[in-house]
Amino acid sequence: MTIMNTHPVPVASAGPADEPLTLIRRAYRAFHERDVAALLDTLDPQVEWVHPDGMAAYGLGGTKHGHAGVREFLSRVPSVLGGMRLEPQEFVADGDRVVVFGVRQVTSVRGTTQTLPFIHSWTLRDGVAVRMEDIFDTVVFQRLIES
């Protein structure tokens, strides 16, 4: 098992054990740069993109499938939020699984901003992510959306 804190996020890989971490860091860099193509390069074409069912009322809950599902999800976010910035803080890698603990700066469409914790569970296969599950407090997130 590999545990790494991030600030700043290194890009270079030190060896095979770091390859999953390098891939996931590329995904977060793509999020940060709003580079959908670069994000999709880290994902399997049939990826499962999972968010809590409690976000379904906003079109953000449930499991999206494949690159088209990820694009659909990402295109929906700006209609619900004024902005969001992910800040991964700790990466825990064990085999084909990487779990990321972090916070996100979330701004409602009305301009209220809060820092909310998240856990992302990534499953990898053959050098790409085949599943990403976002775990967070949906009640607090919904209150922010409505603020």
Question: Could you say which DSSP state residue 117 is in?
Answer: E
Assign 47 to helix, strand or coil: strand
CB 66 within 8 A of CB 45: yes
CB 109 within 8 A of CB 82: yes
pLDDT of residue 3: 44
Who's near 83: CB < 8 A, 6+ residues apart?
105, 106, 107, 113
Cis peptide bond N-terminal to 8, omega within 30: yes
Question: How many Cα atoms occupy the beta-carbon half-sphere of 85 within 13 Å?
Answer: 7
pLDDT of residue 14: 39
Name the phi and psi angles at 90, rounded to 5. Answer: -145, 135
Provide the whole-model pTM. Answer: 0.85
pLDDT of residue 18: 56
Who's near 116: CB < 8 A, 6+ residues apart?
103, 104, 106, 136, 137, 140, 141, 144
Name the phi and psi angles at 26, rounded to 5. Answer: -60, -40
pLDDT of residue 141: 94
Could you state, in chain order, the average pLDDT of each consecutive group of 10 residues for the chain (147 residues)?
A: 44 53 96 95 97 93 97 94 95 96 96 96 96 96 92
Structure tokens, 115: 């820092």
pLDDT of residue 67: 98
